[in-house]
Structure 1
Amino acid sequence: MTASITNTTGIPIRGARSSSGAGTWFRVHARSLVWLLPVLAVAVAVQSWNMGGTPQRIDDEGTYTAQAWSITHLGELTHYTYWYDHPPLGWIQIAGYTQLTGAFARYAFAVEAARESMVFFAAVSAVLLFVLMRRLGGSRPTAAVAVLVFGLSPLALQYHRTVYIDNVATPWLLAAFVLVLSRRQQLAGFVGAAACLGMAVLSKETYLLALPFLIWLAVRRADPSTRRYTLSVAGAVLAVIGGGYILLAAVKGELLPSAGKVSLLEGVTYQLGSRQASGSVFSGGSLANDAAAQWWALDPVFIVLGSAAAVVGLFLRRVRPIAAMLVFLLAFMFRPNGYLPVPYVIMLVPFAALLVAFVGERAVLAVAGITAFRAKSRFRGVSRRVLGGTWALVTAAALVVAVPLWGSQLRGFLITDLDKPMAQAENWIGDNVDKSSRMLVDDAMWVDLVDDGFARDNVVWYYKLDTDGAVQRQSPNGWKDSDYVVTTDSMRTGGNSSTDVRDAIQNSTVVASFGTGNQMVDVRQIHPQGQRTAEQEITAASNVRKTLGTQLAQNPALNADAGTESQFRAGQVDSRAMIALGQVLADRFVRVDRFTPLTGEEGRSFRRVVLHTASPTAAVNTEKTLDALAKDYRAESIERDGDTLTVVWSPMDPTTTAVNAS
């Protein structure tokens, strides 16, 4: 808002500001803040609530988290060899956020800290979306609706919560559109827009697809008398920013391919040509079809309404470049031999939300006749009202369908803990696996396990086992050099392309399992001697347990019910536990409770024994007997409570060459 002030001649000077500062800014923007702040608070609250529980962590976000953690904790660009698959600015910004806020220190699992940064980037995007709508001529209520759709659509929420560098790039792209529509200081606005687009592209390279449409808006907005100059300066700024990435590779001697080195050219070639195509969206089982199916399952209403709004937006001059961009991005998905990444939809969501709200507003205005006077003829005015009414009915129908669908989906986001199996598996590994062990893992676990004391080189992201020369040198025998493989949905699907990973899984046995279906996480011990030999050893170990159990069940000093005795005879009890019980029963009578598995160890042999002695004194003596056993038979922990002892042995039985059968 500007005000007229009077100079010494008494003549008012139009456009001069009567005051400045924060107070003036808040007075000018008070009405906008009244509409923005409540919807922004709702969007932030919904994204933050239970962000660690749903969705379950996946390998990709573990990678970006580990790369950000490497910058702040290791002083390295990535936790493995950087091979130019993506520009690094995305995870550099995540690292900056976590460093400034201390996020990694606040969470038990590193990915949660990075997810907190996603809340920040989504909030910034929401504010910029509101401003962009206003600059395109939308009202404040319409801008607020766009923010709500952007923040609450289950499709948006799923991917905004997930640690993707696309979420980091989105606010930069929105800022570019906001700046190119700047009402004042056009040169500064265009230069700022170019800089923001450059930042977006260096955060996620696919955002370069927006360049033609940003240029379209710039050409349309530019003053004809200075258009060539302003566009040239903006183009030079964009080129300089992009050239910085190329210069980085050149300085490191990694611009062109050479023996034993990664190169920028190879990374670009991989992304643009040699990467496995996703197939057709219409072909069942293809990667593209799977990605589209995920999007559709989350929010079919928003997908249909957003796509339709993009088409309608082509006929509305104010938003035509943005509508054309969205139509182009949608069409780009259907190219036959390209690669369609799952987070591709993140770039589309804010512009779809904007168009849904904008077209809806124009429909209401047309029905009300507020815009009819602009029509060149009465027929056009009537046509606008009819079309506006039709779109209003379509939107109303969409709301009827969307409200219960969104309610059900959002409830799941807010209360469901899909990540529990992953957390349980990590905790089990921390409690039961020797820190000197070497493991093949989903990258979502990498930071947590290294932070828990496992050697960095012994926690191997499965993708790197046969793709990174440094890892290959550490594993001359491939999968056989690892002790465990921890399988997740990401590894079970994405690991199929690696022979080493497949062999590691095939030649391993489950020692702990958590969750079911796609959320299932298995901790598997690898058998370098091969699965057939391992199965023979497993059978032999089971027979030993059956023999020991049968003898123990016949011991007159043992007090146990029929079910417990059958567990002994079936060989379901850890051999070390039975040998230890044999030593205890030689001196005293004890009662043993029915065996129950530890969490994650259902179907494996029981290694926790709860026994009762005749008195607290007898319990003390029993504990001494157990402590005096040889190292291989000694319990991992003993808890005594009066005359009751709870005894737990480690999961790996060193008295046999096999692990427990799964």
Structure 2
Amino acid sequence: MADPKPAADGEFFVDSSLDVQGVTGGSAASGAERDPLSVEPAVSGTRGARLWFGRHAVSLGWFVPLIVLGTAVHAAALTSRAAPGELPGAVAAVVFGTLAALLLWMLARRLHLTQPAAALAVFVFLLSPLALTAHTTASLPNAVAPVLLAGVIVVIDPRRSTRLRMIVGAIVAAILAVVLLLELAASGAPATSSVIGRWWALDPAILILGTGCSVAALAVARLRPFGLVSLGLVLLALRPGADMLVPAAALWLPLAALLVAGTVQAAAQAAWEAGFTAVWLEIVAGIFLVAVVGVFIFAAPALAPGYRTLLEGSPGGQPGQPGAVPTFAQSGVVGDAAAGATPPASAGAEVPGTDDPTGPAAEAESGRALAGAQTAARASIGLQLSTNPQLQLSAEATAELVAGDVDVRSVLTLAQLLASTPVAVSDFPAVAGEVGAPRRQILISSLGGRASTGSSAVLNDVSAYFENLAPPLGGANVVSTDDGVLVIFPFGEPADLLPAGQGP
């Protein structure tokens, strides 16, 4: 696949030949001989469009499918994670992400990246798990990223005057500084976990590739400034108290994607200079692109639970992280709950009133005894949870908790969450039609001192925590309601979570 010379002086939109003059029929600024067909005044609009498409079909073939695929994947992500009230902001974030992808392609071509390498950058930028999270979450940096990319394109354009490039460069630096300062000020309270820790849980592949290529880019002159800024953002995410997952990702992702593609091409070019031909360079870059696509499609879902949750942040770095199934001792609130619970009838002991162990009356009595033991166990651990100073309960929620009416999964997951942040619960609502069953819903009114009503940040944090838990605590759905954030566990309380074997 022949690649037109990248970053020619006339480059403007998609490729080096796709400039304003080329679209309107003028000559390229490179000084090449003017095509007589392109300057004929009698050329119709339809014929001009065909000529334009013929000149740029290769570039469009690399770029357009990625945009279509990215839009489809983002639309699917929106339907699974955006609350109705947050949908307009999430859609706007997707639009800004698509615009940023277009500008990233332009920037890559300006930096002399081949079409396969530029396509690789766009693919990583649009379809990595971290990208799917950042591009479907409304945040200021999502809107700022296209502006910064456009500014960088102007700054590195040698056709522009030095004065204009200096002015635009100063504006870009000022915007970046203001956005980072605003996000730092907004983080305020101590973070529940490090941003890097949540990046790792969400997308370890891009974190490793992006950071490694940022370091390698320091050896490539044209990529060195981008590598320095990328490493600076990573260090900012490592700072104590950092709690800005999506804002940091929205600014870092374009750099990471660009540097991954740029360093791969630099390595391929070094091999080419040692004996490869230009055709082999294209082949190697294309094969690498296909390999990366395969990694993201087949390996990333196994590596990154973020493909399932696609959420902004979570109280990570605690027992509630993916794969952690706590015991009662680890929860810190149930301690000796098993000792306080009514023990079940042992296998060899005779229960009063059960002379005929096979009779219906005996079975009913045994069921009532077991239900009573389970309720007592829930009441014991619920009472201990209610004394946690990090937990704020309404009178109704307290009564339900200490009466043993709350599903043990609610108790355990709240206990873990309280280890990192204060929580206010207004109710444990019963599911309609489930009379006498443990209440498997939690209505959270605030998290970390932030009211949950109308707050997308709280909704995302609560969702990231509960939806990212491993079985048997996992599987909960999180929805936004007028009264707060509602957590709904699946039907059926796991038997092995009750202390001292108080399960059926």
TM-score (norm 2): 0.49
TM-score (norm 1): 0.39
